[in-house]
């Protein structure tokens, strides 16, 4: 059975999230107070419902506790805090909540959100990294760990991973090597070529340091 995800708040972020989750095969129940947004979401999600999430009786009718995951993507502080508090009160354990800034995030965490996301901050970081690393794919996994796809840098060409010693020198690990658009396990002895791409795990600051020091 497909996992059921309840997405509360269909602003630009929530709508995009609901659409993407649906495309990935989840059963998505999309909720918003705005009927126009609900009608839009109804075109691609499993179910779309118009209601006020801070109305306890209305929210309870969604049976949030029975969903595999509940995402509160409401951007405004007060309604998002109230919604998460009600969800927790109803027995929801797996709650992801959107926060607009640090204090907002702390409150959401304190009242029971399992995970906090700040889409604006995360997007800004990814965009800055892409500009910095010049067309390099960057995906933030956590506050301290990034997954990056990079072209083989000039200082790496015709050198093996053993020779480069990236984990020791920069705390950067090569998780995979992409050759001819195929992801392969890294061979520590293989000489890297200019047309290879590397899948790296590490902190983006460490990646930046590695590139800057070897220009």
Residue 25 lies in a domain: yes
CATH number at residue 81: 3.40.50.720
Q: Are residues 144 and 63 located together in one domain of the fold?
A: no
- CA–CA dist 61, 36 (Å, integer): 21
Handedness of CA 19, 20, 23, 25 (dihedral sign): negative
Tens-digit pLDDT profile for residues 97-149: 999 888 999 999 999 999 888 887 666 555 555 545 544 555 555 556 778 88
Q: Are residues 109 and 164 located together in one domain of the fold?
A: no
Residue found by looking up tokens 């800057």 in the block: 212
Residue 21 lies in a domain: yes
Q: Are residues 78 and 159 located together in one domain of the fold?
A: no
Residue-wise DSSP of 95-136: EEEE-SSHHHHHHHHHTT-SEEE-HHHHHHHHHHHHHHHTS-
CB 98 within 8 Å of CB 75: yes
Q: Are residues 72 and 38 located together in one domain of the fold?
A: yes
Q: Are residues 201 and 147 located together in one domain of the fold?
A: yes
Q: Are residues 24 and 80 located together in one domain of the fold?
A: yes
φ/ψ of 65, rounded to 5, equals -60, -25
Average pLDDT over residues 36-54: 96
Tens-digit pLDDT profile for residues 53-63: 999 999 999 99
Give CA separation, 170 vs 111, 117, 193, in Å.
38, 28, 21
Taken as a whole, the chain contains a residue count of: 215
Last residue of a domain, one of 63, 85, 117: 117
Residue 122 lies in a domain: no
Query: Residue 171: helix, strand or coil by DSSP?
Result: coil
Residue 108 lies in a domain: yes
Query: How many CB atoms are closer than 10 A to CB 124?
Result: 11
List the Cα angle 86/4/62 in 5-degree steps: 40
Q: Are residues 95 and 11 located together in one domain of the fold?
A: yes
What was the pLDDT predicted at 58? 95
Last residue of a domain, one of 117, 151, 183: 117
Q: Are residues 151 and 192 located together in one domain of the fold?
A: yes
CATH number at residue 182: 3.30.70.1450
Residue found by looking up tokens 């107070």 in the block: 33
Write out the residue range of the structural domain in which residue 167 sits: 128-213
CB 117 within 8 Å of CB 91: no
Q: Are residues 102 and 173 located together in one domain of the fold?
A: no
Tens-digit pLDDT profile for residues 95-104: 999 998 889 9
User: What's the gap between Cα 181 and its chain centre?
Assistant: 24
CB 46 within 8 Å of CB 29: yes
- CA–CA dist 34, 93 (Å, integer): 27
Average pLDDT over residues 70-82: 94
Q: Are residues 71 and 132 located together in one domain of the fold?
A: no
Q: Are residues 22 and 84 located together in one domain of the fold?
A: yes
Q: Are residues 97 and 132 located together in one domain of the fold?
A: no
What was the pLDDT predicted at 106? 93
Last residue of a domain, one of 117, 138, 166: 117
Residue found by looking up tokens 């700040």 in the block: 118
Residue 40 pLDDT level (bands cut at 50, 70, 90):
very high
């Amino acid at each position: 059975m497909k996992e059921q995800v309840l997405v509360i708040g269909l602003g630009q972020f929530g709508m995009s999230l609901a659409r993407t989750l649906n495309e990935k095969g989840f059963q998505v129940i999309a909720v918003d107070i705005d009927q126009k947004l609900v009608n839009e979401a109804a075109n691609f999600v499993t179910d779309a419902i118009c209601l006020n999430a801070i109305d306890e009786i209305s929210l309870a009718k969604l049976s949030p506790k029975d969903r595999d995951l509940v995402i509160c993507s409401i951007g405004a502080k007060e309604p998002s805090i109230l919604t998460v508090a009600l969800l927790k009160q109803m027995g929801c354990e797996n709650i992801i909540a959107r926060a607009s800034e640090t204090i907002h995030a702390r409150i959401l965490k304190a009242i029971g959100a399992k995970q906090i996301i700040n889409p604006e901050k995360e997007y800004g970081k990814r965009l800055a990294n892409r500009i910095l690393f010049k067309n390099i794919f960057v995906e933030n996994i956590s506050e301290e760990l990034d997954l990056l796809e990079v072209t083989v840098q000039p200082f790496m060409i015709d050198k093996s991973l053993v020779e480069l010693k990236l984990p020791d020198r920069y705390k950067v690990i090569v998780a995979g090597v992409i050759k001819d658009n195929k992801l392969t396990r890294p061979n520590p002895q293989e000489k890297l070529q200019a047309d290879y791409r590397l899948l790296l795990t590490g902190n983006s600051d460490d990646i930046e340091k590695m590139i800057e020091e070897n220009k």
